[in-house]
Amino acid sequence: MTLIVLRLVFYKFPNNSEISPYWMNAGAAALTALTGIALFRQVSVTGGPFLELLPFLKGFSLFFWSVGLWWLPLLIIMAIKKQVCDDNSFGFTVGYWEIALSLAFYASGTKQLTGIFEGKYIIVFSHFFHIAVIIVYGFSLVFAITHLACSSLWAPMNDLTISHVVPYRFQLQGRLFYVTRIVSEWLDNTIQDKLKKQYCVIVNNKLTCLISYEMFSKKWYIRRVNAPMDTIGQ
């Protein structure tokens, strides 16, 4: 988390960046707190020489729960900034399920924390996070079903390829491009005997671009081409 905060402080956060991976940090902190709580309960039941670890496990769990709680306001601010500044950000992505999973971890950890700490404020947090999980999960489910009904079930194969095979948008020379149509695709291993999947695509400003996917390294390479569309891939 420290490295991520340093990155956000000293480097610009692009509006088209995905924020769902940042939510996984809160989920990881909550999962660590859950582990500490489970160990605390197990040691309390079994007893033995590990009883001396109970104060440490109690503080360990509370510390990581607090780390996740500190991280959440920053994530909310980043999400609001992305929605306000990026006009194309309100579209379905798998990242919504990542956010729901992270909040579910945190809600479960908060509820389990009430078993080892006495205090009404933790119970209030637990109710709040459970409500948030239900809202985010319901939103993700409805959004996913709507997305499947509107695109994946009825869209032509070309649109399916754009949505699920090639990047539907990419940045080249500081400009953001959106793929609108795939002209052709073929396999190519003529460059250093590396197998690549080549796509000739049309972007939103009607430019023709060549997108390459290297099978071994699993990396995308994008460049603008000036050749006529009927000569690409020959």
- What percentage of the chain has pLDDT greater than the value 90? 2
Which of these ranges, 28-37, 63-72, 225-234, has the smallest mean pLDDT? 225-234
The residue ranking higher by pLDDT, 49 or 42, is: 42
- Residue for token pair 């605390």: 40
pLDDT value at 78 more than 90: no
Express each pLDDT in 135-150 by its tens digit: 989 988 888 888 777 6
* Mean pLDDT confidence for 88-117: 80
What pLDDT score was predicted for residue 229?
45
Those residues whose C-beta lies under 8 Å from the C-beta of residue 205, and which sit 6 or more positions away, are 177
* Mean pLDDT confidence for 206-224: 76
Q: How far is CA 33 from CA 14, 75, 109, 117, 151, in A?
A: 31, 19, 6, 13, 40
State the SS3 of the chain: CHHHHHHHHHCCCCCCCCCHHHHHHHHHHHHHHHHHHHHHHHHHHHCHHHHHHHHHHHHHHHHHHHHHHHHHHHHHHHHHHHHHHCCCCCCCCCHHHHHHHHHHHHHHHHHHHCCCCCCHHHHHHHHHHHHHHHHHHHHHHHHHHHHHHHHHCCCCHHHHHHHHCCCCEEEECCEEEEEEEEEEEEEECCCCCCCEEEEEEEECCCCEEEEEEECCCCEEEEEECCCCHHHCCC
What pLDDT score was predicted for residue 193?
62
Structure-token pair, residue 99: 């956010």
- Which pTM does this prediction carry? 0.57
The residue ranking higher by pLDDT, 183 or 7, is: 183
Q: Is the dihedral of CA 92, 95, 101, 107 positive or negative?
A: negative
